[in-house]
């Protein structure tokens, strides 16, 4: 069992999934929680795609954080996102390939650059991904080495383990997926019953 006093960073997007993930952790008794919104939208480079969404995201994320008494911090990561995700995707598209930005965003940004910056401050990073993690201990000589396994969501359509497939052991051992046992339909129902601001917000179709 995870110590209820451990420090958890929750990545919120303003969507229903991350909002419910935050609520679930509070309901489970975790008290040392900080919410983070990663600002990766490139206002200038991607202006042709329409208005910047981060202000709308915060309009949904802030109320739930205030209601739960959780501090919300905005972390700018546009430079990291451009260098590790956008440039690679553009280069691959030019070659006629079809890269998946989400795979690299999770590996290099959400569970990469973010963990690199805040690893010393938090024991775990939690998100609203549709996936689960099983932490195992396997005998190795005279000591115990923890092994963490990424497992699929019960929702076959929303399962996001493919987008998390590049995570290594060091990253997987730091993550929590509070929605790992739920389907999207169940998440929507739970969010509505809890009167979450994002309960009926449409799913994001953004780059990351």
List the catalytic residues.
105, 208
Please report the DSSP string for 37-71 in residue order: EEE---TTTTGGG-S-SHHHHHHHHHHHHHHHT-E
* Residue carrying the six token digits 């795609």: 49
Give the separation between CA 19 and CA 139, rounded to whole angstroms.
37
Token reading at 195:
């009167």
Whether the Cβ atoms of residue 171 and residue 192 lie closer than 8 Å to each other: no
Instruction: Provide the pairing of β-strand 143-151 with 132-140.
Output: antiparallel
Whether the Cβ atoms of residue 123 and residue 7 lie closer than 8 Å to each other: yes
């Amino acid at each position: 069992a995870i110590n209820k006093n451990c420090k958890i960073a929750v990545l919120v997007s303003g969507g229903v999934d991350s909002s419910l993930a935050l609520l679930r952790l509070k309901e489970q008794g975790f008290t040392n929680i900080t919410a983070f919104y990663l600002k990766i939208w490139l206002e200038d480079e991607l202006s042709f795609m329409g208005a910047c969404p981060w202000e709308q995201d915060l309009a949904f994320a802030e109320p739930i954080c205030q209601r739960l008494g959780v501090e919300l911090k905005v972390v700018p990561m546009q430079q990291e996102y451009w260098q590790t995700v956008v440039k690679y995707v553009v280069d691959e598209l030019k070659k006629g390939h079809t890269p998946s930005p989400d795979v690299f965003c999770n590996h290099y940004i959400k569970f990469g650059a973010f963990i690199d910056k805040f690893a010393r401050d938090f024991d775990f990073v939690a998100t609203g991904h549709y996936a689960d993690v099983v932490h195992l201990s396997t005998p190795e000589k005279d000591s115990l080495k923890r092994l963490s396994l990424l497992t699929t969501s019960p929702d076959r359509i929303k399962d996001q383990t493919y987008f998390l497939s590049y995570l290594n052991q060091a990253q997987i051992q730091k993550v929590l997926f509070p929605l790992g046992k739920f389907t999207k339909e169940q998440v929507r129902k739970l969010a509505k019953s809890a009167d979450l601001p994002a309960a009926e917000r449409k799913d994001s179709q953004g780059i990351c």
